[in-house]
Chain A
Amino acid sequence: MLTLSGVTKRYPTGDRALTDIELTLPKGQVMALIGPSGAGKSTLIRCVNRLVEPTQGSIRLDDVELTRLSGSGLRKARRSMGMIFQEYALVDRLTVMENVLSGRLGYVGFWRSFLRRYPQDAVAEAFRLLERVGLPHAIDKRADALSGGQRQRVGIARALLQSPKLLLVDEPTASLDPKTSRQIMRLIRELCAERELATIINIHDVALAQQFADRIVGLRAGQIVFDGRPDELTSDILTTIYGEEDWDTSPESVDEPESDPTPAQYERRDITGAMASGVAP
């Protein structure tokens, strides 16, 4: 459904963010894109909806060549690609309902959107989505009155109100606590299954990626270095993607278990524990 071929992005500074990316995403597949910071994950998904202009290559969504579009053609294509952001990217001073309805902007004219007179079916769908993401009580609140997890739910509802075919998700859990992260990932996963959405999720947390994605693609320095099922991801492959690191997640044994652990040892255990949570068991 989504096909990238030979996609290259070179920034004006000369930095190569992406080199010759070949990728095909079938309908209904949830793909996690992992890789170190600066590997080009964000650039890649932003090339798809043209928030960033790719330098070379072709990106096709169904039969539409996205790289050649401009003006109203581009706006029309963007309607079918929902995007979810790391810092939620809500408009703080608008209400939750206005934020959700802004997902419909590509479908309504300027005056309708200016006067907030959206068609009744869009409003009904917005109500349904807010119910589905678990925020029916927050409709009239201002977006900045919500917690992080709630704001991300609004972001998800906004993206889905576009009735997209493709979902682009940029670090959805980076600003959330572990529990909320899992809830949000589960929600995205369920919604994709319900609507058969193809999805690209950029994510730092390898464990979450393995648990919630059908397929994992590893990006390093702008090139794809791994493409496979979550259970194929081994320590060796993680080393290829991220570089040398001890990926073993079992806690290190303390030398003298019977003696009281010193504060330094506590600290060390905390650190290894935190590192371990980044990688799946």
Chain B
Amino acid sequence: MPVSTSPHGIPVWRLRTTRAQWLQFGAWLLGISLFLLCWKVISDNTMWVFVEDAGRQGSDLLSRMMPPKWEYASILWKPMWDTLNIATLGTALGIVMAFPVAFLAARNTTPHPLVRSLALMVIVSSRSINSLIWAMLLVTILGPGVLAGIIAIALRSIGFVGKLLYEAIEEIHPTPVEAISATGASRLQIMNYGVLPQVMPAFAGISVYRWDINIRESTVLGLVGAGGIGLQLNASINTLAWNQVSVIFVMIFATVLVSEWISARVRHAII
């Protein structure tokens, strides 16, 4: 009991009991010891000779990247456009598929608990596989190209958008839904009037956020052959053309910056 009585009969209050205080101290001690132990294991397994000349290697790489070969940019516009298309179309496709899945997965809108577990399964399996791995699988199945990239991005987005949207659906106010049900509305009408207006801002925000992430993810999909600027990146690294790599980096950086700005503006306008 945090409340006790002192010898003088005055009630004393403390946030934690002595026992709880010692337990907390013990937990911290254990956590810090574990961290130090892990640190030592990693340190023992590191080949320090390589780390010691990291500075030299790094500056060497940097000097090869400088100055960037700016004329290379002229052949990057097309792959960059592909990358943007992969991200945008992939996001759109993902949203279209995630929307119904989220309604099936939310506890308050699902038609049946069994359907709910199925929908949750779709969400979890989509989330557990990275877009790069989806792309690898799809390049094997569909062959290299933009299509594999679009589908990879879409499949990964289902889980992300679906999860955040179904959580938003579960957090809506129940009374408007009750009121709409009380008018004799059908299930779909209840969704349309009671649920959808309440989750619309969240839905728009989530979609734009995912698009923003997908722009970044689609820049690397080319590494496994799924189209976009990643293909050029891969080729440049393989031929040790570091002054081209730096141009690609600058380009990706600029694109991400612009997408970040656009998504911030859109979110601001909607919410």
- A residues sitting closer than 8 Å to B (CB atoms) are 49, 51, 74-79, 81-83, 85, 87, 89-94, 98, 102-107, 110, 113-114, 155, 158, 162, 168
Q: Report whether A78 and B184 are in contact in the complex, using a CB–CB cutoff of 8 Å.
A: yes
Q: Which 10 interchain pairs have the tightest Cβ spacing?
A: A106-B184, A105-B185, A78-B184, A89-B179, A79-B184, A93-B197, A89-B175, A83-B182, A75-B184, A91-B176
Q: Report whether B179 and A94 are in contact in the complex, using a CB–CB cutoff of 8 Å.
A: no
**What residues on B are CB-neighbors of A79 within 8 Å?**
183-184
11 contacts between A and B (CB under 8 A): A83-B182, A89-B178, A89-B179, A98-B193, A102-B185, A102-B193, A104-B183, A110-B192, A113-B193, A114-B192, A158-B183
Given A87-B175, A105-B189, A105-B193, residue A93 in contact with residue B198 (CB < 8 A): yes
Minimum CB–CB distance for A202 against chain B, Å: 14
Given A85-B179, A89-B176, A91-B197, residue A113 in contact with residue B189 (CB < 8 A): yes
Q: Report whether A105 and B179 are in contact in the complex, using a CB–CB cutoff of 8 Å.
A: no
Minimum CB–CB distance for B220 against chain A, Å: 38
Please report the C-alpha to C-alpha distance between residue A87 and residue B178 in the assembled complex, in whole angstroms.
12
Q: How many residues of B contact A (CB 8 A)?
A: 20
B162 sits at the interface (CB 8 A): no
Q: Report whether A113 and B192 are in contact in the complex, using a CB–CB cutoff of 8 Å.
A: yes
Residue of B nearest to A112 (CB): B189
Please report the C-alpha to C-alpha distance between residue A87 and residue B184 in the assembled complex, in whole angstroms.
20
Please report the C-alpha to C-alpha distance between residue A102 and residue B182 in the assembled complex, in whole angstroms.
10
Scan residues 182-207 of chain B and give those whose CB is less than 8 A from a CB of chain A: 182-186, 188-189, 192-194, 197-198, 200-201
**What residues on B are CB-neighbors of A87 within 8 Å?**
175
**What residues on A are CB-neighbors of B181 within 8 Å?**
51, 78
**What residues on A are CB-neighbors of B197 within 8 Å?**
91-94
**What residues on B are CB-neighbors of A92 within 8 Å?**
176, 197-198
- B residues sitting closer than 8 Å to A (CB atoms) are 175-176, 178-186, 188-189, 192-194, 197-198, 200-201
Residue of B nearest to A94 (CB): B197
Q: Report whether A85 and B175 are in contact in the complex, using a CB–CB cutoff of 8 Å.
A: yes
Minimum CB–CB distance for B187 against chain A, Å: 9
Residue of B nearest to A75 (CB): B184
**What residues on B are CB-neighbors of A155 within 8 Å?**
179
Residue of B nearest to A83 (CB): B182
**What residues on B are CB-neighbors of A104 within 8 Å?**
183
Given contacts A91-B194, A93-B197, A93-B201, list 17 more A-B pairs with CB under 8 A. A75-B186, A82-B182, A85-B178, A90-B176, A90-B179, A92-B176, A93-B198, A104-B183, A105-B186, A106-B183, A107-B184, A110-B188, A110-B189, A113-B185, A155-B179, A158-B179, A158-B183
**What residues on B are CB-neighbors of A83 within 8 Å?**
179, 182
**What residues on B are CB-neighbors of A51 within 8 Å?**
178, 181-182
Minimum CB–CB distance for B199 against chain A, Å: 10
**What residues on B are CB-neighbors of A89 within 8 Å?**
175-176, 178-179
Minimum CB–CB distance for A169 against chain B, Å: 12
| Cβ-neighbour of A102 out of B183, B188, B198 (below 8 A) | B183
Between B184, B185, B197, B201, the greatest number of chain A beta carbons within 10 A of the residue's beta carbon is seen for B184
